[in-house]
Amino acid sequence: MSQKKRVVVLISGRGSNMKALVAGSRHAHSAYDVVGVIANVPDAAGLLWAADEGLATRVVNHRDFKTRTAFETVLHDTVLAFQPDFIALAGFMRILGDTFVANWQGRMLNIHPSLLPAFKGLHTHEQAIAARVKIAGCTVHFVTPEMDAGPIIAQAAVAVMPTDTAETLAERILVAEHKIYPAALDRVCRGTVTLVAGKVVATPHEAGSDVNQTAVLYSPNLN
């Protein structure tokens, strides 16, 4: 692998997906480094963890700004200061505007705790249980202006148990999130998954590997 790609992670809360991304970056052959963590919530628990790990952290508190544009201008500059190749949204609870998204087209990923296009937005686990689906899951996608509608990179399926509550389902889906997000980000940073004319194009990522390896991304059994 040539130079590792530089990734900035944006969070709003506990940051368990951020931790998984950092853990993934520490694998011997990882294609990326997490170079910074930015939160829009000053007391986001994930920030403390990141700082303890020696990662550079920043806060851009959306409440300090009168408009979304003003917030996103400073957020953009704060991200740029890390000279990143990619942004990973990991439980970042602000909708980003068209200009910000356009600036990072094909270079910004998000994880959503449902099998998109089902159950966009908030309260996804409640939505899944109310709909009585038998299979739920999570999705990593490129971010586009329309919320939770960007081209899908990776998904993992999780069975819904008859006894599940939103909380128990969320716990099991989170385990899958922590597997597919680092794997998907690694592929994107390696250049074996790209966004071309609005579509995800995946190629085998190792010499001699067959095309089925790209299908691994769509299974919960990522390693």
Which residues are near ligand GRF by CB under 6 A? Answer: 11, 13-17, 90-91, 111-113, 174, 177
Residue pair 58/215 in contact by the 8 Å Cβ criterion = no
| Catalytic choice (29, 62, 76, 112) | 112
* CA 200 to mean position of chain CA atoms: 15
- Supply 96's token pair: 């980003």
62 annotated active-site: no
Name the DSSP class of 193: E
**Nearest to ligand GRF of 157, 174 (CB atom):** 174
**Nearest to ligand GRF of 16, 192 (CB atom):** 16
Q: How far is the CB of 207 from ligand GRF (least distance, A)?
A: 33
Dihedrals phi, psi of 176, to nearest 5 degrees: -70, -40
Q: How far is the CB of 83 from ligand GRF (least distance, A)?
A: 24
Residue pair 5/54 in contact by the 8 Å Cβ criterion = no
* CA 197 to mean position of chain CA atoms: 21
**CB half-sphere exposure, 103, CA atoms < 13 A:** 13
**Nearest to ligand GRF of 93, 216 (CB atom):** 93
Q: How far is the CB of 50 from ligand GRF (least distance, A)?
A: 12
Residue pair 72/78 in contact by the 8 Å Cβ criterion = no
Q: How far is the CB of 55 from ligand GRF (least distance, A)?
A: 15
**Nearest to ligand GRF of 113, 182 (CB atom):** 113
Residues carrying an active site annotation: 112
